[in-house]
Structure 1
């Protein structure tokens, strides 16, 4: 039985869309893992000057000071799930961003039940929300440096957007990369959603509604 060009084109389009969708889904899961690291790692800030009275790192939940022990001495709030008082808002925003990313990853299961374009658009908005929350968390983190934890680690010169004897560490850089990744994945999701119909030839657009009606 001969296969028409329309059917062949449609089959190749579906295969390509699925391949790109799988890659997009893997990158979405990787973004979620990155955000978990950003949330729990106490290395948003690190001391840089050798003349500083103490040496260590600081995160949303803990302050870790280098001591005589093989590992750093980390102290935080009374509850392991409670962020430091000065960084409660950034921690909440990172959690919201993480929830949005994992929700977009969970939406991959909806491809079996919903139209692909609708799923991609939903995931795109979720990822844009994740990027916006994470970028706002980074901004508020820099604005919250005038606190007791930062002064104890970085000296008295700290202030809003002024790290004193410290500087941002690799976790903060990873958070910024997470913002960029969220924007790229959201853009790709919207592009995939728009191309679901735009790439199909006109005769295919006429055949598919007819098949849906007859079904």
Structure 2
């Protein structure tokens, strides 16, 4: 039996919404993995001038100074759950962002037991919270450069928002991308939720037709 134009449009709309939803879910999991890398990698800052007293990298939990074999000499470890004193607040904010993202990823399992619109809205708020926390962490990280660890690695010219002989590295760039991804995914989640709400009356009518032929 051929479908009428409205029914055909409704079917194609549902298929498109599901495809976008799957892509959104995959991107949410990728964002969660990215957040883990941002938290544990000691490469938020890297030295840029060879004339500095030391050469190495710095993260929220570790300072690594280049040395002889077998590798750099690192102080601190993410496994100890003790961030560097100057970066405790940024580390807490990154952990909060990580928790929000992983919670939103875990909420993907609720699609089988809850209405899709409610799940999308919950994930959207969680991802928006993650983006806010991560953006504040990046801002406070830049503001916390006037510390002993930065001066030892980057020289005496360091200060708030002044890296001295260092520059932000790829992990900080990943953190900024994480902020952008969180905002985009949250916006997409709210859009998908509104689309699911729009589909609800049609679904209800279809169920009524099946139960009352």
TM over 0.5: yes
Alignment of 1:125-136 (within 5 A): 125-136=125-136
Structure 1, residues 84-129: CA drift from partner, whole Å, max 9, x if none? 1111110110011011001111111111111111111111110000
For the aligned residue pairs, the C-alpha RMSD in angstroms reads 2.3
Corresponding residue pairs, total? 212
Q: Rate the CA distance shift 1:93–1:211 in 2: closer, same or farther, 3 A.
A: farther
When the two structures are superposed, what TM-score results if normalisation uses the length of structure 2? 0.91
- What secondary structure does 1:57 align onto? strand
Structure 1 residue aligned with 2:28: 28
- Determine the C-alpha separation between the residues in 1 that align with 2:59 and 2:200: 53
**CA distance 1:128–1:201, change in 2 (3 Å):** closer
Residue aligning to 1:117 = 117
CA deviation string 1:33-70 (max 9, x = no partner): 11100000000000001110110000000000001124
What is the DSSP-based 3-state SS (H/G/I as helix, E as strand, rest coil) of the residue aligned with 1:98? helix
CA displacement, residues 144-169 of structure 1 (integer Å, 9 cap, x when unaligned):
11111111111111111111111100
Counterpart CA distance in 2 for 1:58 and 1:77 is 11
The CA distance in 2 between the partners of 1:126 and 1:78, in whole Å, is: 24
2:62, 2:78 within 8 Å by CA — same for their partners in 1?
Answer: no
1:181 partnered with 2:181: yes
TM-score normalized by the length of structure 1: 0.90
**TM-aligned CA distance change 1:201 to 1:84, over 3 Å:** closer
> Partner residue of 2:14?
14
